[in-house]
Amino acid sequence: MSFGVLGPLEVREPGGAEVRVGTGKPAALLSALLVHANAWVSVDELIAMIWQEQDVPPSAERNLKTYVWRLRRALPAPAAGPRIESTARAYRIRVDPGELDVDEAQRLFEAAGRTGDPEAAAGLLTEALRLWRGRPYGGTGWAAPAVGFAEQLHRRIRNRLADLYAGTGRHDEAAVLARALVTEDPLREDSWTRLVLALHHGGRRAEALEAFESARAVLLAELGVEPGPALAAAHRRVLRGDRPGGAPGDLARIEDLLVGAVRAIETAVRLADRIGVTVPALPALPVAVGGVPA
């Protein structure tokens, strides 16, 4: 038996045949139980989730028992006992490991983090992504915390996969993932940084520069801020023409350190001026360009 909540509610038998659990309130009841899989949910909580903003009828508890009865008939019981258990004032659905898609996605994500093989990790993450069919729990309002968890997991999986692609030279695939992420949330600088670097390392310099300018425009328009250090550093790498590898990374770190040092000195000088302290002149230092002192 498999329960799909990473999209519209879906239930399937082990062989893949769809299990019809109805629509409307019976389906809402099943979703509510799956949000709290293997945990007891009170009758009052279930009624609140099923009826949401609607007026709760006097027959709500009796109706709830009817919906439970329908689900019990539709859902085959696991070997360990009834699928839906009950007490006087609560219900619980039993879900075995691997039966709930969001749990399976979390397991695959964690397994990918444990393996030291990038190709194997990418395979696990790709398998996890295939579980998504749409908005988790159908976007049901009362399931907002569970929806938020699933959406955050979805983002983390794609971020990890994009990084794996970038680390193994699959820059076009990394760019596809990063572009989807910035489309979903244009204010996430980490996604823009991934996109800029993936395009650049894939030999698409003009697109990388265009992506940075798009990111900068969005950040200025929506938040009133310039790109942060990571995105700005990615932009500098594109301008310098750095390629993946040790030397460009060293150059980027050197430049970042020098820029930071200059800003620190400027800040110290301004502070000294305010408090009336004279700063001694600093000796001139040779500046090397391309390894040759200027």
183-224 pLDDT per residue, tens? 999 999 999 999 999 999 999 999 999 999 999 999 999 999
pLDDT of the residue at 252: 42
Q: Which residues contact 2 (CB under 8 A, 6 or more apart)?
A: 10, 11, 12, 14, 98, 99, 100, 101
Q: How far apart are CA 83 and CA 91, in angstroms?
A: 10
**What phi, psi does 256 have (nearest 5°)?**
-60, -40
**Superfamily grouping for domain 101-246:** Tetratricopeptide repeat domain (1.25.40.10)
CATH of 2-93, one of 1.20.1440.230, 1.10.10.10, 3.30.230.10, 1.10.340.30: 1.10.10.10
* Residue spans per domain, the chain: 2-93, 101-246, 247-293
Number of CB atoms found within 10 A of residue 56's CB: 13
How far is C-alpha 163 from the chain's CA centre? Answer: 13
Token pair 């508890």 is at which residue? 61
The mean pLDDT value for 23-49 works out to 93
- Between strands 41-42 and 90-93, the pairing is antiparallel
pLDDT, tens digit, for every residue of 222-281? 999 999 999 999 999 999 998 765 433 444 445 445 555 655 675 566 666 667 666 666
pTM for this predicted structure: 0.77
pLDDT of the residue at 53: 75
